[in-house]
Structure 1
Amino acid sequence: MTSAKPAPYSHDEVHLIPTTSQAIIQQTWTNNREEWGKTLDLATYHAREVVLANQEFTNNSKLQVWVLVPKTFDPENPDLGLILSAVETFLRPGMVATKELGVRDVASLSVASVFTPAHYRGYGYGSLMMRLLWSRIEQMDSVEFTFLYSDVGPIFYARMGWDPKRSEEIVIPTDFSLPASGCTVTLDNVTDQSLGNLVALDAQQLRETMKVQIETTTDFTALAAVTPEPTCLQWLHVRSRFVAAHVLKLEQHEITSLGARDQASNSFVLWFHDLVKSQLFIVRWRVDPSANQAETVCALMSAAQAEAKKWSLTKVVIWNPEQSLGDILGLEIAYRDSAIPSLGLTVSSPTTSRIEWVMNEKYSW
């Protein structure tokens, strides 16, 4: 939508630049706090962002901030009021599978924190920034796909190359009675210490799944997945722990349980505590085909419910589950109109509508 008012700067007068300037980055936080930090005071919001930006998942240039600014903008002596729009990208490992080349390890780029200050909206700056970012990503030889989660519907980002994918969820209230299964499944708690080995096994299983799927499918010309890595999950838990200690100021704030694993199979669940929105997110879910499906599902979900209750959360949420999970639980798989997963391929290859996003779960968010 174009404003009837004259734009402060024409599109020819602005450009997109990466920045490492702390003054500029902190101003982008101040700007976007009105969207993603409404419940936090400015100092606490900045403190959280500093902590998150200094994790292994984000350091060594894996997190990059980009700003759309006038071409006259001086990064060394910036006028911080001239940040027209901003966005962050995260460099992450991925896998791509095709019949011709099999499964390959590649780099991927996730896009987040797209934000235009209110007084600069209506001039097309957000759209321009994303088109320019797409062009910059295409120039990164090592990056083969990029993805984001849209809160503005499926069309806006699709126009620029990010194709919307499956966006469904099951919501399980913590007081929901799970089906009786005569459960004999014994679970181990997943902790910081055991997370690395479990995630390595998950990545290996994902590779094997993609290999079999690409060899047998005729529905898709390529598969893409974000490779599981412990640093991403640790980043999520640092976020939860910060909220528990410094936002909600809980007396007991140390989150120690990161998931649950079946002792007898490769089945497991990994979760993330969204304490502000009172929900436990399932970030990764795997039920071994060799396991008793109903018993294992109920055991893992019961563990998730117990963890949610421990933190007084009202529900457990899982994104893009298999239909079999809904059938076992007796719950509906519903369309989700926010955080719509959107995938873009940056190399000359099939269109994204012919690519399946494997492991399209909360993990990649």
Structure 2
Amino acid sequence: MPTLPPGTSPTLALAHPTEAEKQIQFRLNGSEWRGALTLPAYLRREALLSNQQLTRNGGITYWILIDTAVHNALDPSSPHRLPLASCETYRKRALVWREGKVEETIAHGVGSVFCAEHLRKRGYAARMMQEVGKVLETHQVQGGRKCLLSVLFSDIGKEFYRSHGWEPFRSSHISIPGVVSRSGPKGITARPLCEEDLEELCKADERIIRKRLEERTRESNIAVALIPDIETIRWHHAREDFVGQELHGRTPKVKGAMVGTEEGKRVWCYWTRMWYNSDPTQAKGNTLHILRLVVEDGREEDAVDAIAALMALAQREAQEWRMEEVEAWNPSPATVAAARILHPSAEVVDRDTESIASLRWYPPHTGNIAESIDWVANEKHGWC
């Protein structure tokens, strides 16, 4: 008889790691995920990010897979627990439209899925995802609220996570060089947004998303949206600020841009800088990501020049902070047109290996999830 892989053992179980066990995993996965940081700086960044508004009070949950035949899954004081695989999940707020109604629900974002190299090809990561997928449906659900979905962003293609319940959705982007363009929109200038500007804009954005979901009267597809609330945006910016301080000795003050001042007619975006090049004098490999782009009245076809003005200011910031490119995820036709004002050869890239937006839907469902659910505002802000 063929030998079953270790990952199928009935004695494997999920557990929550101790602080020491977390540090073991961070030190192992840091070689892959620390980017431009040294390992000690990476460890400090992870500690900082675990204590943000988004992640405090259970906002982040750490998971490890262990073998209960060797040690007690329920007893974190049990000595010599070996994490066979690990991940973390972020509690997120989400809106769901179905059967003519909008409801707010808990969602979970899965991140940092990791199996140490010496433990790979034994089925441990697969088993952990099976177990995590099941437990998240009821994790932190209280007061009659529901968890209807969980999401992740795969860097290993589409098939592994699909086989464990997370269906890949279209994941595309458009990018333009991170240097100031010679061309640009005529007569429109964007103004910078700083941290103190963002909270009210996030509240306005949430109202806009709710209203547009409520106005879905002819669509048959379910619609979901991760809410780009201020807690989420600040988590991204805490990450950015930490790395900026480490590499450049200062933190970025400009967090986005806006065109217009009249409420109801404004166009704005938030962004974050991600450094992967450890040489602070070099831009190669670094990206300024548009986290969220909002056209307040929804008339994107009339906002092409305004979006181009936002992206032009993003280019200015990218150049100052040594970013190779400015990137927007799942761009609308208006965003594509705006990018081409600044960089005529810009093309939309459909990703098939990295940052693949994937969604698991918990209620009973028939058919292909990606074809029957519309993921609204599927932009970089949802990444974790």
Normalising by structure 2, what TM-score?
0.86
Provide the alpha-carbon RMSD of the alignment.
2.1
Q: Deviations over 1:209-262 (max 9, x none)?
A: 2222x31224x2x0111012111111111111111222x2x14x1211110112
Which of 198, 214, 217 in structure 2 is aligned with 1:215? 217
Q: State the shift of 1:120 in Å.
A: 0.8
Matches within 5 A, 1:1-365: 11-19=9-17, 21-37=18-34, 39-71=36-68, 72-74=70-72, 75-80=76-81, 82-100=82-100, 102-140=101-139, 141=141, 142-175=146-179, 177=181, 179-185=183-189, 187-212=190-215, 214-218=216-220, 220=221, 222-246=222-246, 248=247, 250-251=248-249, 253-264=250-261, 265-276=265-276, 277-288=285-296, 289-290=298-299, 292-328=302-338, 329=340, 330=344, 331-337=346-352, 338-349=354-365, 352-353=369-370, 354-365=372-383
Q: State the shift of 1:131 in Å.
A: 0.5
Structure 1 residues 215 and 44, CA, compared in 2 at 3 Å: closer, same or farther? same
The whole-number CA distance in structure 1 between the counterparts of 2:303 and 2:377 is 19
Structure 1 residues 267 and 55, CA, compared in 2 at 3 Å: closer, same or farther? same
The whole-number CA distance in structure 1 between the counterparts of 2:310 and 2:39 is 38
Amino acid at match of 1:182: K
Q: State the shift of 1:23 in Å.
A: 1.2
Amino acid at match of 1:363: H
Q: State the shift of 1:150 in Å.
A: 0.5
Check conservation: 1:169, 1:335, Cα contact below 8 A: yes
Structure 1 residues 308 and 73, CA, compared in 2 at 3 Å: closer, same or farther? same
Amino acid at match of 1:29: F
The whole-number CA distance in structure 2 between the counterparts of 1:87 and 1:358 is 26
Check conservation: 1:92, 1:108, Cα contact below 8 A: yes
SS in 2 for 1:54: coil
Q: State the shift of 1:179 in Å.
A: 4.9
The whole-number CA distance in structure 2 between the counterparts of 1:38 and 1:286 is 29
Check conservation: 2:180, 2:312, Cα contact below 8 A: no
Runs of 4 or more above 6 Å deviation: none
Q: State the shift of 1:10 in Å.
A: 5.5
Q: Deviations over 1:281-328 (max 9, x none)?
A: 001012344574232122111111111112121210111001232234
Range that drifts further, 172-181 or 115-124: 172-181
Amino acid at match of 2:363: V
Q: Deviations over 1:63-100 (max 9, x none)?
A: 000100010324203315x1100010001100000134
Gaps of 5+ in 2: 277-284
Aligned identity (percent) is 28
The whole-number CA distance in structure 2 between the counterparts of 1:42 and 1:313 is 22
The whole-number CA distance in structure 2 between the counterparts of 1:39 and 1:301 is 25
Check conservation: 2:257, 2:310, Cα contact below 8 A: yes
Structure 1 residues 227 and 300, CA, compared in 2 at 3 Å: closer, same or farther? same
Check conservation: 1:183, 1:298, Cα contact below 8 A: no
Q: Deviations over 1:252-281 (max 9, x none)?
A: x12111101122322101100112342110
In the comparison of the two structures, how many residue pairs are matched? Answer: 352
Gaps of 5+ in 1: none
Structure 1 residues 37 and 260, CA, compared in 2 at 3 Å: closer, same or farther? same
Range that drifts further, 235-244 or 111-120: 235-244
